[in-house]
Amino acid sequence: MILVLALAALLWGVGHLMGAPRSARILMIGLLYIAVLALHLLLPDGHPLRMATGESAALWLIVGGFAVLVWGYRRVLAGLRARADDGEAERAATGPVPAFSDTELNRYARHIVLREIGGPGQKALKEAKVLVIGAGGLGAPALQYLAAAGVGTIGVVDDDSVENANLQRQVIHKDSAIGTPKVFSAQAEMEAQNPYVTVRPYHRRLTADIAARLFADYDLVLDGTDNFDTRYLVNETAVAAGIPLVSGALSQWEGQISVFDPSAGAPCYRCVFDAPPAAELAPSCAEAGVIGPLPGVIGAMMAVEAIKIITGAGAVLRGHMVIYDALYGESRRIRVRRRDDCPTCAEV
């Protein structure tokens, strides 16, 4: 075997001195390997040439396998470098990266070091526009975490004012804000938490006459409302606009969350909930009660899904629904499918 290795080194050195390209030298060594392997496969045991070149073909097969692994590894690395170079070129072509101040870089450092987000992901968050319907139990934590994450523009729609009974779970609002419209109370807290985001408050109820124009200004929407008429309107408008809808819901000790996005092959809200349930089967939080931290759990999950959609990180809950039972500490993940006869998204 030493004889073969010495011959290979000689071929490499002579080729280098003669100015032969690297590919030609690799080809010569490859031909030498094939010749040695052929000797071991064709000649009988004990033949002098086999004895002089390592006796067994098994060793040369191992050497060849290792060489193939090294070659494959180098090819993968080259492919990754090419993709990275293409990504840099694409980012350069789309224009300069929005400037982050030193304070922002420090603020978002825990995002930037995440390999799934990094600098490009934080840039995407800064450029994103997210609309949140409802500044109550689900909207409160979602708004707080979207602002903290650095989502550049956040719209919030709600026609209610802060009441004392809200404060048990709607933690974005303070006692001093009682009587203040929820959108302005939320705006003040979000801007106090992160002055680098833009908050657009819409102190009114979402209605069909404004929904389409409003949604056109945003990249995705979060629905934290507590009535089915608004939920179906939000779903219909999001489907028509072709933007993802992150939807959450609560009842007593149980919450659920899903991402409805027919433009990406997932079902819409009406595919799963074809019609609203009878009033006695879906009582409001005021009627049935709700454990205070539960909206925080589901609202925070809604913010996570929004961040994943914006940055492209992980697996978004398209086509799946997570149901969380806080009373027993259990979570279930179920698959939800599109309906071919859905009146809202069948044509999408």
End-to-end CA distance of the chain: 66
Say which residue the tokens 């809950």 belong to: 317
> What percent of the chain is modeled with pLDDT above 90?
65
Give the CATH number of the domain where residue 154 resides. 3.40.50.720
Please tell me the total count of domains within the chain. 2
State which of 78, 93, 108 marks the end of a domain. 93
**The pLDDT of residue 86:** 63
Residue 281 DSSP SS3: helix
User: Within this chain, do residues 21 and 152 fall inside the same structural domain, yes or no?
Assistant: no
pLDDT tens by residue, 228-242: 999 999 999 999 999
**Parallel, antiparallel, or unpaired for β 254-260 and 245-251?**
antiparallel
Are residues 156 and 241 both part of a single domain?
yes
Residue 218 has pLDDT above 80, yes or no: yes
C-beta separation of 131 from 157 below 8 A: yes
Mean pLDDT value of segment 107-126: 94
Q: State which amino acid sits at residue 47.
A: H
pLDDT at position 34, please?
A: 74
Residue 121 inside a domain? The answer is no
Tell me, yes or no, whether 275 lies in a domain: yes
211 lies in some domain: yes
Cα 88 versus chain centre, distance:
20
Scored b (16 or more CB within 10 A) or e, 39-61 reads bbeeeeeeeeebeebbeebeebe
Tally of residues, the chain? 348
d(CA 193, CA 108): 13
What Å distances lie between residue 340 and 269, 319, 343, CA to CA?
13, 14, 9
Given a cut of 80, whether residue 10 has pLDDT beyond it is no
Pairing of strands 220-223, 245-251: parallel
Whether 81 and 146 share a structural domain: no
Residue 60 has pLDDT above 80, yes or no: no
pTM for the structure as a whole: 0.71
323: pLDDT strictly greater than 70: yes
Q: Is residue 84 part of a domain?
A: yes
Give residue 97's pLDDT.
47
Residue 298 located in a structural domain: yes
Q: Is the pLDDT of residue 302 over 90?
A: yes
- 290 φ, ψ to 5°? -155, 135
Tokens of 26: 């690799």
Q: How far apart are CA 39 and CA 22, in angstroms?
A: 26
Q: Which of 66, 93, 120 represents a domain boundary (last residue)?
A: 93
Q: Which domain holds residue 232?
A: 128-335
Asked if residue 138 and residue 23 are part of one domain, the reply reads no
